[in-house]
Amino acid sequence: MTQTTPTRAVPRRRGLWRRLRHDYAATPAAALVTLVCGTILVAIAWTLIDWAILRATFDPAAGREACRAAGGACWPVIAARWRVILFGLYPYDEQWRAALACLVVAAVILLSCLPRMWGLGRLAAIWATGTALFYLLMRGGLFGLTPVNEQQWGGLPLTLFVFVATAVIGMPMAIVLALMRRSSLPGIAIPAGLLIDAIRSLPLLSILFTCAIVLPLVLPDFLIGEKLYRVVFGAALFFAAYQAEIIRGGFQAIPRGQEEAAKALGLGWRQRLVRILLPQAFRLALPATINQFVIAFMETALIVVVGFMDLLASANTAFRTGEWTFAHVEVYAFIAAIYFAFVFGLSRYGAFLEARMDAGQQRS
């Protein structure tokens, strides 16, 4: 681009005050809007700070009465109940295993996010090791670790497990469904389309119920498996139906000439797919994909309806005991911070990927 950028209405050198006035109070009406919105924002911020910090009780030993007297947030509830919030029903003496399992999941995710690890061999090694470690820690039964049944899993490790398994199983399913729906053979495209549309027409809750309760009635015994895995499969199917449409949208946005050029160079179907089409489809689908991941993370909380104690459900039980029933806002704020950390990390990583894939590709 060789055009000169239009000169700014107000050059920088005229000072911060002038610029602020230009941006936020150019007219009396704009000034009024700024004033009203600003007042509301300041009031909210002040109330929050006042509650969460200024009048809050931080002393871990403080009890209900001390909190009541101070009038602000009662953070001792977290100190007293954090193990229930984070690990749910997992046997108390074994919770160090659940904590380590969380670290394993976090390490696997972080390692997979590093561009230098993006090779089939490396990723497979990371995920195989990570899955084995996670299972060893969570299930036990080997090396003298007490076995812990999936029904007793809870809190953060369960939420992470359901999310990661949903995404890892759902993503390949989504790619396969998207490719099937794009097929020129009606015998493949139509069933894929029907499956996608059928799943998208059902609420996730009903799919989870079906997987948890109805499937055992209709499946032969050897296919039933643990309830947790049936539920994860249901969640993955649901994820895949939406993600398949996102990927298909990415495919449709690729100019037709791309595949023609690849054909003309003699590339076969799989080479065209892996080298030319999928990378471009993923790039085009990236913002919507990150969105879908975020939604999938939030939706893990729904597994409570089929009897699992995920992070949110564990938090709910944490303040249900006599002493802390008044402190639910503090507990929710705590898990909100955990959800926020994960989802904010996810969306920042999405932004990093976008920037990386765009490197050098902007139209000049």
Partner 1 sequence: MDRTAPAIEITGLHKSYGGFQALRGIDLTVARGERVVVCGPSGSGKSTMIRCINQLEEHDSGTIRVLGTVLDGRLASLDEIRREVGMVFQQFNLFPHMTVLENCTLAPMLVRRLPRAEAEATAMRFLEKVRIPEQAQKYPAQLSGGQQQRVAIARALCMEPQIMLFDEPTSALDPEMIAEVLDVMVTLAQEGMTMVCVTHEMGFARKVADRVIFMDRGEIIEAAPPGQFFSAPQNDRTRQFLSQVLGH
Residues that bind partner 1 (CB under 8 A): 255, 257-258, 260-268, 271, 275-276, 279-280, 283, 357, 359-364
Shortest spacing between CB 265 and partner 1, in angstroms:
4
**Minimum CB distance to partner 1 smaller for 5 or for 361:** 361
Output the DSSP codes for 280-347.
HHHHHHHHHHHHHHHHHHHHGGGGGGGT-EEHHHHHHHHT-SGGGGGGHHHHHHHHHHHHHHHHHHHH
Q: How far is it, in rounded angstroms, from Cα 235 to Cα 297?
A: 11
How far is Cα of residue 145 from the mean position of the Cα atoms in its chain? Answer: 30
Torsion, CA 295, CA 250, CA 277, CA 235, rounded to 10:
30
Shortest spacing between CB 131 and partner 1, in angstroms:
30
Shortest spacing between CB 60 and partner 1, in angstroms:
53
Shortest spacing between CB 274 and partner 1, in angstroms:
10
**Minimum CB distance to partner 1 smaller for 111 or for 357:** 357
250 and 284 Cβ atoms separated by less than 8 Å: yes
**Minimum CB distance to partner 1 smaller for 115 or for 220:** 115
**Minimum CB distance to partner 1 smaller for 116 or for 363:** 363
**Minimum CB distance to partner 1 smaller for 121 or for 144:** 121
**Minimum CB distance to partner 1 smaller for 99 or for 254:** 254
Shortest spacing between CB 263 and partner 1, in angstroms:
6
247 and 285 Cβ atoms separated by less than 8 Å: yes
3-state SS class at 57: strand
Shortest spacing between CB 264 and partner 1, in angstroms:
4
Shortest spacing between CB 118 and partner 1, in angstroms:
14
**Minimum CB distance to partner 1 smaller for 279 or for 307:** 279
3-state SS class at 192: helix
Count the helices and strands in the chain (H runs, E runs).
17, 2
Half-sphere exposure of 83 toward its Cβ, with a 13 Å CA cutoff? 11
**Minimum CB distance to partner 1 smaller for 4 or for 362:** 362
157 and 309 Cβ atoms separated by less than 8 Å: no
Tokens of 122: 């490396």
Shortest spacing between CB 254 and partner 1, in angstroms:
10
Spatial neighbors of 125 by CB under 8 A, at least 6 apart, are none
Q: What are phi and psi of 154, to 5 degrees?
A: -170, 170
